[in-house]
Amino acid sequence: MAIRLCGFFILVAASIQDCDGVLRFASYYQDHMVLQKSPERAVVWGYGSEGAQVKFTLSGQYQQKISQATVTNGTWRVTLDPVEAGGPYNVTAAVLNITAVLTDVLFGDIWLCGGQSNMLFEVSQIFNASEELKRAAHYPHVRTFMATLAQSKTEQTDLIGVQIPWSVPPLYLSGFSAVCWLFGRDLYDKLQYPIGLVESCWGGTPIEPWCSSRVLQHCGLLQEPGGGPKVNSVLWNAMIHPLLNMTIKGAIWYQGESNTNYHQEKYNCSFPAMIDDWRMAFHQGSGGQTALDFPFGFVQLSTCEKKSNSDAYPNIRWHQTADTGFVPNPRMQKTFMAVAMDLPDENSPYGSIHPRDKQDVAFRLSLGARAVAYGEQDVAFRGPFPSQILSTPKYLKITYDQKVSVTPSENIFEINCSESESPWDPKAHWVPAPIMQWGLTTVQLSTSVCSPTEQVAALRYAWRNWPCDFKACPIYSASKILPAPPFIANRTPAKVINEL
Is 395 inside a domain boundary? yes
Domain CATH for 172: 3.40.50.1110
Question: Is residue 320 pLDDT above 80, yes or no?
Answer: yes
Domain CATH for 43: 2.60.40.10
Q: Within this chain, do residues 120 and 242 fall inside the same structural domain, yes or no? A: yes
User: pLDDT (tens digit, 9 = 90+) per residue, 108-161?
Assistant: 999 999 999 999 999 999 999 999 999 999 999 999 999 999 999 999 999 999
The band of 392, judged by pLDDT with boundaries at 50, 70 and 90, is confident
How far apart CA 90 and CA 2 sit, in angstroms, is 14
Average pLDDT, the chain: 93
The band of 178, judged by pLDDT with boundaries at 50, 70 and 90, is very high
Q: Within this chain, do residues 238 and 142 fall inside the same structural domain, yes or no? A: yes
The pLDDT of residue 347: 97
Q: Answer with the one of 66, 84, 105 that is the final residue of a domain.
A: 105
Q: Within this chain, do residues 132 and 154 fall inside the same structural domain, yes or no? A: yes
Q: Within this chain, do residues 242 and 99 fall inside the same structural domain, yes or no? A: no
The band of 4, judged by pLDDT with boundaries at 50, 70 and 90, is very low
Q: Answer with the one of 350, 373, 396 that is the final residue of a domain.
A: 373
Query: Where in the sequence is the domain holding 91, given as residue range(s)?
Result: 16-105
Is 139 inside a domain boundary? yes
- Closest Cα partner for 114 from 254, 228, 269? 254
The pLDDT of residue 494: 37
Is 81 inside a domain boundary? yes
DSSP-derived 3-state class of residue 208: helix
DSSP-derived 3-state class of residue 134: helix
How far apart CA 487 and CA 226 sit, in angstroms, is 33
Q: Within this chain, do residues 100 and 111 fall inside the same structural domain, yes or no? A: no
Q: What is the mean pLDDT of residues 186-215?
A: 98
Is 24 inside a domain boundary? yes
The pLDDT of residue 225: 66
377 Cβ partners below 8 Å, 6+ apart? none
The pLDDT of residue 2: 35
Is 140 inside a domain boundary? yes
Q: Within this chain, do residues 421 and 354 fall inside the same structural domain, yes or no? A: no
Q: What is the pTM of this model?
A: 0.93
Instruction: Provide the domain count of the chain.
Output: 3
The pLDDT of residue 500: 38
Q: Within this chain, do residues 284 and 335 fall inside the same structural domain, yes or no? A: yes
The band of 184, judged by pLDDT with boundaries at 50, 70 and 90, is very high
Q: Which residue did the predictor score with more confidence, 65 or 364?
A: 364
Q: Within this chain, do residues 97 and 118 fall inside the same structural domain, yes or no? A: no
Question: Is residue 418 pLDDT above 70, yes or no?
Answer: yes
User: pLDDT (tens digit, 9 = 90+) per residue, 332-357?
Assistant: 999 999 999 999 999 999 999 999 99
Q: Within this chain, do residues 483 and 421 fall inside the same structural domain, yes or no? A: yes
User: pLDDT (tens digit, 9 = 90+) per residue, 75-90?
Assistant: 999 999 999 999 999 9
Q: Within this chain, do residues 254 and 361 fall inside the same structural domain, yes or no? A: yes
Q: Answer with the one of 105, 120, 148 that is the final residue of a domain.
A: 105
Q: Which residue did the predictor score with more confidence, 17 or 486?
A: 486
Q: Within this chain, do residues 364 and 261 fall inside the same structural domain, yes or no? A: yes
User: pLDDT (tens digit, 9 = 90+) per residue, 442-468?
Assistant: 999 999 999 999 999 999 999 999 999
Q: What is the mean pLDDT of residues 304-319?
A: 95
138 Cβ partners below 8 Å, 6+ apart? none
Q: DSSP label at 317?
A: H
Question: Is residue 19 pLDDT above 80, yes or no?
Answer: no
120 Cβ partners below 8 Å, 6+ apart? 177, 199, 201, 202, 203
Q: Within this chain, do residues 428 and 356 fall inside the same structural domain, yes or no? A: no
Question: Is residue 10 pLDDT above 50, yes or no?
Answer: no
Helices 359-368, 178-191: crossing angle, 10 deg rounding: 50
Question: Is residue 57 pLDDT above 70, yes or no?
Answer: yes
